[in-house]
Amino acid sequence: MDLSSLPGQGGQAMANSLLPRLHGKRVTLRRPIVSDIEDRLASGRHAEIIRMYGGDSRNLESYTREDATAWYQAFLTQPLAWVIEHEGKCVGNARLTVTEADKRARYAIGIFDTSKLGQGLGTEATRLILDYAFKNLGLHRVDLRVLEYNTRAIACYEKCGFVKEGLEREGALVEGKWETDVMMSILEQEYSSLRRSGWEHG
């Protein structure tokens, strides 16, 4: 695939309607549809999740229909942003932000339905996206940053082949405390090696 053809990646603008559907055993990754606004609204805003992004989980405001609509609209401007569908509902989202010149991408994922955390859905979604990133987009590297205390996310990423490559010490002030970010990445040759050893992507 020619990366320059992706919207927001230096190429011509196009809707994310061209985003491929990625199918796993329990999740389907797809472009958002209007009814996802209802699922996003029903999931609401939770302190546990806000804190994992480094937000302030104290005095949370309720999640409104306007918030859910803004979430949906922001999606449409992102070329490689998928919603995570599980059992017919949108339970989360994930995206790649590609730097074409270096054939690399930054990865981000979030499950916002708290009843679905820790059930393997994040691992399955991440593996599907890595497969697409390396095999279809021809990327060399996918990386991410995650707060050190987000041990569930780190466990998920490690199961998908990401390795810790560095720390950004006390770079985030979360609820009045300095916190550290972990930088993680996976390279194409590492991904291929995992696939050769029988690693499943979905």
Ligand X SMILES: CC(C)(COP(=O)(O)OP(=O)(O)OC[C@H]1O[C@@H](n2cnc3c(N)ncnc32)[C@H](O)[C@@H]1OP(=O)(O)O)[C@@H](O)C(=O)NCCC(=O)NCCS
Sort strands 141-147 and 163-174 into parallel, antiparallel or unpaired: unpaired
Among 96, 121, 139, 182, binds ligand X (CB under 6 A): 121
Among 27, 37, 52, 137, binds ligand X (CB under 6 A): 52
> Binding segment for ligand X among 15-23, 66-74, 107-115, 191-199 (CB under 6 A)?
107-115
DSSP reduced 3-state for 30: strand
Q: Does 122 bind ligand X (CB under 6 A)?
A: yes
Instruction: State the nearest-atom distance from the C-beta of 11 to ligand X, in Å.
Output: 28
Closer to ligand X at the Cβ: 10 or 118?
Answer: 118
Site for ligand X in 57-96 (CB under 6 A): 92
Instruction: State the nearest-atom distance from the C-beta of 60 to ligand X, in Å.
Output: 15
Amino acid making up residue 193: S
Phi-psi region of 181 (alpha: psi -120 to 50; beta: other; left: phi over 0): beta
Say which residue the tokens 């190429």 belong to.
11
Closer to ligand X at the Cβ: 143 or 188?
Answer: 143
Closer to ligand X at the Cβ: 100 or 159?
Answer: 159
Q: Does 105 bind ligand X (CB under 6 A)?
A: no
Instruction: State the nearest-atom distance from the C-beta of 57 to ligand X, in Å.
Output: 12
Cα radius of gyration rounded to whole Å, the chain = 17
Among 1, 70, 76, 118, binds ligand X (CB under 6 A): 118
Among 29, 49, 130, 142, binds ligand X (CB under 6 A): 49
Phi-psi region of 10 (alpha: psi -120 to 50; beta: other; left: phi over 0): left
Going through 6-80 in order, the beta strands assigned E by DSSP cover 22-23, 28-30
Instruction: State the nearest-atom distance from the C-beta of 70 to ligand X, in Å.
Output: 18
Instruction: Determine the Cα–Cα distance for residues 170 and 160; give it in Å rounded to an integer.
Output: 26
Beta strands across the sheet bearing 141-147:
22-23, 28-30, 81-86, 89-99, 104-111, 141-147, 177-187, 163-174
Among 41, 117, 183, 194, binds ligand X (CB under 6 A): 117
Contacts with ligand X, residue ranges (CB under 6 A):
49, 52-53, 92, 109-111, 117-123, 146, 150-153, 155-156
